[in-house]
Amino acid sequence: MERYVLRGGQWGYDRLKLLARMKRDETLELFRRAGVRPGMRCVDLGCGGGEGTFDLAVAAGPGGSVTGVDMDAEKLALARESARERGSGNVEFRAGNVNEWDEPDTCDFVYCRFLLQHLARPADLLRRMWAAVRAGGVIAVEDADFDGLFCDPANGGFDFYKTMYPEVCRLGGGDPTIGRKLYRYFGQAGIPGAQFRLAQGLAVTEDAKAIAPLTLEASADAITGAGLASADQVAAALAGLRAFAATPGTLCGDPRTFQVWARREAG
């Protein structure tokens, strides 16, 4: 069984909020292409702070609904508070382990973002996600591929992040290059007619570049705990990466994001 390697709670919630802001346009494009529409009953697995869940709720409209599932109770409490503030009446957040989630034939849109890279048995979850899709419904996933990260100019802190995050993700039982495998996994899970899209983000603003140091910071305990580096080495890399992110004119590539979706034939 895997171990989630990123810091959660309020700190993790704040990081995910920034990440969601940076990824929102690409995700909305996925929802559009995959055909999310009013009235759909949707599920967002590994929903984190629920930013994607709220966008789904808007697309599903008052006649539809969305359930966000996550194992981090603290993030879910913040997501519920946010739902109250937004007046989102068609959203519910449920605590649970997605490895135990199994709700055949109950949903019109079954979705997860940046979850599968953390799972030891992603294809098992894909099978259960597909089983949950009712006739005419859709499965959609998006996930990253950490190969090919780049920055300009060269930066030692960025190199450290580029080596360490994938390594600690693997040691935790996950797969930092899962993005490129999703299309194949759909086939292996018996999901026909997969469609796909590849998004390569480029971080140029200070906000967008902050994701890299935040992800390194989020995995710092796991990196030192696994003996991959000392706390001093992590701190030095973080200082270098933060300075890089704050310097105008520098840029870095986000991990490529693969989006894959498929529709079940209408009954």
Question: Which parts of this chain interact with ligand SAM (CB under 6 A)?
Answer: 4, 8, 16, 19-20, 46-48, 51-52, 70-72, 75, 97-99, 113-115, 118
Token pair of 169, please? 């993700």
> Shortest Cβ distance from residue 20 to ligand SAM (Å)?
5
Judged by beta carbon, residue 140 or residue 240, the one nearer ligand SAM is 140
Judged by beta carbon, residue 20 or residue 132, the one nearer ligand SAM is 20
> Shortest Cβ distance from residue 140 to ligand SAM (Å)?
12
In angstroms, rounded to a whole number, what is the distance separating the alpha carbons of residues 253 and 255?
6
In angstroms, rounded to a whole number, what is the distance separating the alpha carbons of residues 267 and 249?
54
Judged by beta carbon, residue 132 or residue 240, the one nearer ligand SAM is 132
Q: What are the backbone dihedrals phi and psi of residue 19, each rounded to the nearest 5 degrees, phi first?
A: -60, -45
Judged by beta carbon, residue 112 or residue 240, the one nearer ligand SAM is 112
Return the number of other C-beta atoms located less than 10 Å from residue 85's C-beta. Answer: 8
Token pair of 200, please? 């390569």
Judged by beta carbon, residue 98 or residue 129, the one nearer ligand SAM is 98
> Shortest Cβ distance from residue 80 to ligand SAM (Å)?
14
> Shortest Cβ distance from residue 112 to ligand SAM (Å)?
6
> Shortest Cβ distance from residue 237 to ligand SAM (Å)?
21
**CB-count exposure of residue 32 (10 Å: 0-12, 13-18, 19+):** exposed
Q: What are the backbone dihedrals phi and psi of residue 31, each rounded to the nearest 5 degrees, phi first?
A: -60, -40
Judged by beta carbon, residue 208 or residue 250, the one nearer ligand SAM is 208
Q: Shortest Cβ contact with ligand SAM: which residue?
A: 48
Q: Report CA-CA distances (Å) from 208 to 204, 238, 241, 242, 259.
A: 6, 16, 13, 12, 20
In angstroms, rounded to a whole number, what is the distance separating the alpha carbons of residues 93 and 98?
13
- The dihedral through the CA atoms of 82, 84, 87, 90 has a sign that is positive
DSSP-derived 3-state class of residue 15: helix
Angle between helices 51-60 and 9-34 (to 10 degrees): 30
Judged by beta carbon, residue 135 or residue 198, the one nearer ligand SAM is 198
> Shortest Cβ distance from residue 55 to ligand SAM (Å)?
11
In angstroms, rounded to a whole number, what is the distance separating the alpha carbons of residues 86 and 205?
28
> Shortest Cβ distance from residue 46 to ligand SAM (Å)?
3
